[in-house]
A = this chain, B = another copy of it.
Amino acid sequence: MESISYIIDTLYAIFAMTLIIFMVPGFAMLEAGIVRTKNVTAVLTINTLIYAIASLAFLLIGYSIAFGDFGSDSMSKWAAFMFQMAFVGKVVNIMSGGVSERAKVVPLAVFTVIMAAVLYPLVVNVTWGSNFLDGTILSLSMYDLAGSTVIHSTGGWALLAAILIIGARKGRYTKEGGIRVIPASNIPLVTLGAFLLWIGWFGFNGGSVGSIASKDNADAVALTIMNTNTAGLAGAIMVACFMQFRYKKLDLTMILNGALGGLVAVTAGPDLYDIYTPILVGAIGGIIVVFGVSFFDKIRIDDPVGALSVHLLNGIWGTLAVGIFASNGSDITLLGQVKGILLVAVFAFTSSFIILFIINKIMPLRADNDEEMQGLDVEECGLEAYPEFKRAF
């Protein structure tokens, strides 16, 4: 029986990991669809490099910082590694999307090494890992099943740091206080990417239960996946209703971001909710996206893909939601959740800011004006994304 559990959990971890890897093309397609055609290749290149670099850096350095060493009794240690490895790139994907159309590829690749080898592993260490803070006053009791804070907020704080250093895209905010709308260039890619992410989330959250090899665990896994999905549904529907009633336009990019917002929000505790609570958690997540996008534009934080609203704000909301809706009878407290959010916030923002600041001194993060106007594809990659298609402008 022990050996059966080992086998089934290994198979299950491989399955869950594979779904998460679908998020690599997921992020790539989503972001490539949102940016202008002149920056598409650069976005795809950094997404590809993030997966390659973050995964290898985590294999060589990060994993042992987070978890001590390769090892697992309950499943193959290689499957356990692959499952964790699949997470790493996501943190930087979240960040790279928000600085697209003006951040250069190579410095982002350098930052990826440091994030995947050191920064993210330290966050994991004190939340899911061996916890070097154990016994100290900073020791965390936050519940965060699959990373509303550990993954999404960490990536979001890194993004905020990056935007503060890099600034907005040229022409995005006018001197008169106006905001220039820059439409997504390829809506089918955005849609495809969003659904690949959605499906990947089943592996992300479902796999984070850690085992499927008992009746209780099988139920927990299935409930987790069901609740994850439900929050995505609710986020999409909430935003669709809002857009329709407010603007009479069903803005699809916003609806999809609403779904993703709901998915981020439920990620901290999908195993703890009954089957109806995720409707509320996800619907609020969708609304947070709508208002978050306006808010960041108002304060001139330029985030082309809405990553701050989807990942940072909803990462926070989702972690709080566990404290609000799932604290009865357990040792989860709203205070414990807040403490976790704050500690990760301070660490992730500060460390990312410092590292990015240093990188920026050595090799500018931002493309120069000519390159930005021309688009990053030609200068950075030597490849236009759609060279045969005539541009409308």
Binding site for B on A (CB under 8 A): 3-4, 6-8, 10-15, 18-19, 21-22, 24-25, 28-29, 32-33, 36-37, 40-41, 44-45, 47-49, 51-53, 55-56, 59, 75-79, 81-82, 85, 105-106, 109, 183-189, 191-192, 195-196, 198-199, 202, 206, 212-215, 217-219, 221-223, 225-226, 229-230, 232-234, 236-237, 240, 244, 247, 249-253, 255-256, 259, 275, 279, 380-393
Which of B10, B40, B48, B382 is within 8 Å of A222, CB to CB?
A: B10
**Is B29 within 8 A of A237, CB to CB?**
no
- Chain B residues with CB below 8 A from A82, complex form: 222, 225-226, 229
Q: Nearest B residue to A12 by beta-carbon distance? A: B11
Given contacts A24-B195, A49-B255, A82-B225, contact A385 B186 (CB under 8 A): yes
Most buried by B among A28, A192, A252: A252
Q: How far is B24's CA from A389's CA once the two chains are assembled, in angstroms?
A: 26
**Is A252 within 8 A of B81, CB to CB?**
no
15 CB contacts below 8 A, A to B, read A7-B212, A7-B215, A10-B212, A11-B15, A15-B15, A18-B19, A44-B252, A47-B191, A48-B191, A55-B230, A76-B221, A78-B225, A192-B192, A250-B381, A387-B392
Which of B7, B244, B252, B383 is within 8 Å of A8, CB to CB?
A: B7
**Is A225 within 8 A of B36, CB to CB?**
no
Given contacts A55-B229, A78-B226, A251-B381, contact A386 B185 (CB under 8 A): yes
- Chain B residues with CB below 8 A from A229, complex form: 55, 82, 85
**Is B214 within 8 A of A3, CB to CB?**
yes
Q: Nearest B residue to A253 by beta-carbon distance? A: B383
Q: Nearest B residue to A78 by beta-carbon distance? A: B222
Most buried by B among A78, A105, A109, A244: A78
- Chain B residues with CB below 8 A from A195, complex form: 21, 24-25, 28
Q: How far is B47's CA from A236's CA once the two chains are assembled, in angstroms?
A: 12
Which of B6, B21, B109, B275 is within 8 Å of A59, CB to CB?
A: B275
**Is B391 within 8 A of A25, CB to CB?**
no
**Is B389 within 8 A of A40, CB to CB?**
no
Q: Nearest B residue to A249 by beta-carbon distance? A: B382
**Is B387 within 8 A of A390, CB to CB?**
no
**Is B256 within 8 A of A48, CB to CB?**
yes
Chain B nearest CB from A229 CB (Å) reads 7
Given contacts A52-B233, A214-B7, contact A37 B388 (CB under 8 A): yes
